Structure 1
């Protein structure tokens, strides 16, 4: 709800700007409002906010904003993002859509108490952020900033120093060769441990049969910048071993505890800022109460950004694919960008491989998934109706928690292919350069589900319109207002250049 009293004010950064209006206007449900009143409200709001204010929007419920502790969270975001604008909703987060469509912010941060941030809210944010314009893709870099309590959320909101992800720890196999330093313990093979030191290569070692304490130590003594998990989980625990018996991590009242197979349980606590990717766990991203695992990661273990499923996971595209963009293209994307690049890839596959499904709206976790066979493009990729069901299952059920504008990224490392965008006036040239000969476009690591073969995604730092392709049309390129997507060529053609050139107008 946006309340505009007779002499209303809208918060832009830390300044309050007055704007007279003859009456109180309350946006509750746009579908039942008088369209003329809505248009006046939006026009006045955008006039006050100005074009620059569209870079960052904070969306919060009135009930949350009225609590002093949570108002402090909003204020902290405004202090860090000086031209941010606050949008307040009353009954449903979709009420702010008309204003978001006008602003079209690059970042949208949804501040929410734990009572609000359940799986339905995550799905609502997914749906809302695909409606800023007419294309089927996500239209903003979004995140849900929540926490165990306002104090926890405030610590997340105040974190401004970018995170260089130098130490990685994982409970499942990952491409450690592309990380500066780290360790992973195999969830499939008992006693398998792989480590890498700075300047070295991944080396397999004998690990403990019960890795509960060892993994906990990577978060406390080792201070891992990135923690990755997969395997069985619920909202209350992570079962560390997938194919063999192992210990568990369990949450209670915003704190994390280790439960080894033998011996006493112990508390796992750290305040070091880090990111967490629950790329293959069921329910790790579902906040269903104060004992939720997600809240313990944020409150008890310093997690500032987190990716995780709010439902059981059986397909995996929405989770595992974030690794393809983040750890396997080191330095190219922040975690926020990697999450959204994978979302673009998922929507692209739905849109281009199955007819008439991108507009299908489903309740998160619904078993009423449509049975849609692939079209000719999907058949060429070997897809089936089961893939359509899996993509729809994943589309709105992976949460991204944290401030979306906060930057966490791996140090740059050599990549399988290069991508360089050059902008000269209204001409854009994207050049893709294979670096690994015939293997340049192949999967880097195949552990997990739905790995590899992701499209090449080039994010833009500004919006464009009226794009006209000049070259590269045979690559199946998709050009939207804020990113360029090139389907994975799969086979490297050494006799051609991978160059996409187009003209477009910049949106100011």
Structure 2
């Protein structure tokens, strides 16, 4: 009887164990491959509130959950085995640092077999578990972006937006306004006397007659009387903002005093309830909206407010979900604490996806390169795909310059300018080159400095305007062949594919440049070991990966059809 009882008890305990496995652990018991993986630290998984975020992701994507102790790199082998196309890393904000992001980038590359990242990945975090969960819930349904607000003048292309506003960073002071006002309000008698005296002087000059000192002094005396009150005239510092209120419109420019520009930003924010935000001066603790004013956007206890001298002005929450590209110069996309700009925008600003630098920006390829690729392919890429594809472009360029860049990290520094010479010397030695260029150093820096926050599988994309789409791409699987067909129409311009030279020219203040884009396409499905099966019938260099294809140096023409045939394994 004793043995029978023990056997029954074991079966009972085993049954209880199997049926009491937490939801977030069920799929990781199965193992094997999974299109979507959730990486989560054990500390986060043990927190009941945060574990709801993990469970929501698992339910939404039928995801495999892989727990780690401190850093995702600890589970590289299980990650390789799972071979996901999408990876979400659920983490509390106080644990997210630039080093954490750098190591996650390396994990994404080491999980594959080539030079590219093996999967699209995003950080899932928030001011608290509730706001992190909202980010996941927002990703359940697609979003087409039709409204935008930008504090960056680089937002030159707006045809895909129905409505948008752009805050200019120009600052102008009209130094001659006081003089003009003085002459406008002066005694007409003095103005007439001055006019007659100037005519006399002009006549003498034209006939080579000497102009007496008494005549010159009289002109100075009258001028002084007229301009006596000019110093009292307030010289206004001006800037501008631009808007368009209908899809077919272009931006209309309006001048405004700098002192009023932040109120105009808030006004536009309330009116537009923008689905897309673009800023270029962004930090952990604050965001500068205009270089001409001291007031900034701050975060406190998960709330966003403009820090005016007369008191804080809190942001309206609005109704729309938002996507935020924070190109930034202050490294605001990692924090080491819960209360910061990113988490506040997520909790209080309805931001469901954000991409930005995790340390101070000095090159622009990761940030503005993402914008360039996204805006010149409207509707083709989700926001996460645009971040991913631009990062692969960075890796491609680095490998093209020197394959040894794959094994080199940008030297640790908290001041790029101060350490520039030593950093260049260190990288040059590491890759065995005679010289490393400014752009090469910039690409290497940006490779591990940019991070996407949000669900990497969320379908959030720009509205595709007919004015922007003059080529289409179709794919067809034929046995062990995968055929990609590109058809251009009569209005096609190859500059559309390459980025229209956007930020490719150096300026007096910026000698870094963005790369010229290749033709790119993110496959609707992951391909098994794709390779070029047939020589191209057109000019171009193919670079293919299981997730995407680049065609470099191609020169497509209007009203043409181009075909790329790949061999794939089933």
* TM superposition score category, shorter chain reference: 0.7 to 0.9
**Per-residue deviation at 1:217?**
3.5
What aligned pairs does 1:80-229 form with structure 2 within 5 A after superposition?
80-81=60-61, 83-159=62-138, 160-173=140-153, 174=155, 175-188=157-170, 191-208=239-256, 209=258, 210-229=260-279
Relative to structure 1, is the Cα distance of residues 492 and 372 closer, same or farther in structure 2, using a 3 angstrom cutoff?
A: farther
Checking the alignment, whether the CA contact within 8 Å between 1:13 and 1:84 is kept in structure 2 is no
Higher relative contact order (CA 8 A, sep 6+): 2
2:502 alignment partner, one of 431, 446, 468: 446
Structure whose residues are more often helix by fraction: 2
Relative to structure 1, is the Cα distance of residues 10 and 255 closer, same or farther in structure 2, using a 3 angstrom cutoff?
A: farther
> What is the TM-score when the length of structure 2 is the normalising length?
0.74
What aligned pairs does 1:28-427 form with structure 2 within 5 A after superposition?
48-51=30-33, 54-81=34-61, 83-159=62-138, 160-173=140-153, 174=155, 175-188=157-170, 191-208=239-256, 209=258, 210-231=260-281, 233-242=282-291, 244-245=292-293, 247-260=295-308, 263-270=310-317, 272-362=320-410, 365=413, 368=423, 370-372=426-428, 385-414=437-466, 415=468, 418-425=471-478, 426-427=480-481
Does residue 479 of the first structure (1) align with residue 533 of the second (2)?
no
In structure 1, list runs of 5 or more residues that go unmatched: 1-5, 19-44
In 1: Cα distance, 2:565 partner to 2:242 partner:
43
Residue 501 (structure 1) aligns with = 565
Checking the alignment, whether the CA contact within 8 Å between 2:543 and 2:551 is kept in structure 1 is yes
1:138 match: secondary structure: coil
Checking the alignment, whether the CA contact within 8 Å between 1:475 and 1:486 is kept in structure 2 is yes
Checking the alignment, whether the CA contact within 8 Å between 2:164 and 2:272 is kept in structure 1 is no
Checking the alignment, whether the CA contact within 8 Å between 1:330 and 1:412 is kept in structure 2 is yes
Checking the alignment, whether the CA contact within 8 Å between 1:73 and 1:153 is kept in structure 2 is yes
Checking the alignment, whether the CA contact within 8 Å between 1:311 and 1:397 is kept in structure 2 is yes
Residue 455 (structure 1) aligns with = 518
Relative to structure 1, is the Cα distance of residues 191 and 354 closer, same or farther in structure 2, using a 3 angstrom cutoff?
A: same
Checking the alignment, whether the CA contact within 8 Å between 2:410 and 2:427 is kept in structure 1 is no
**Per-residue deviation at 1:179?**
2.2
Checking the alignment, whether the CA contact within 8 Å between 1:13 and 1:85 is kept in structure 2 is no
Relative to structure 1, is the Cα distance of residues 372 and 84 closer, same or farther in structure 2, using a 3 angstrom cutoff?
A: same
Checking the alignment, whether the CA contact within 8 Å between 1:196 and 1:203 is kept in structure 2 is yes
**Per-residue deviation at 1:235?**
1.4
Relative to structure 1, is the Cα distance of residues 311 and 16 closer, same or farther in structure 2, using a 3 angstrom cutoff?
A: closer
In 1: Cα distance, 2:324 partner to 2:20 partner:
32
In 2: Cα distance, 1:248 partner to 1:215 partner:
12
In 1: Cα distance, 2:351 partner to 2:465 partner:
24
Checking the alignment, whether the CA contact within 8 Å between 1:322 and 1:338 is kept in structure 2 is yes
Checking the alignment, whether the CA contact within 8 Å between 1:280 and 1:316 is kept in structure 2 is no
The CA deviation string for residues 431-481 of structure 1, in whole angstroms up to 9 with x for no partner, is 445544464445347369644622222112223215243132851211112
Aligned pair count?
462
Structure whose residues are more often strand by fraction: 1
In 2: Cα distance, 1:306 partner to 1:215 partner:
20
Relative to structure 1, is the Cα distance of residues 493 and 77 closer, same or farther in structure 2, using a 3 angstrom cutoff?
A: closer
**Per-residue deviation at 1:93?**
1.5
Relative to structure 1, is the Cα distance of residues 320 and 488 closer, same or farther in structure 2, using a 3 angstrom cutoff?
A: farther
In structure 2, list runs of 5 or more residues that go unmatched: 1-13, 172-237, 504-509
The CA deviation string for residues 142-162 of structure 1, in whole angstroms up to 9 with x for no partner, is 100000111111111222122
2:342 match: secondary structure: helix
In 2: Cα distance, 1:10 partner to 1:318 partner:
46
The CA deviation string for residues 228-276 of structure 1, in whole angstroms up to 9 with x for no partner, is 0013x4311112224x34642122222211134x643311141532110
2:141 match: secondary structure: coil
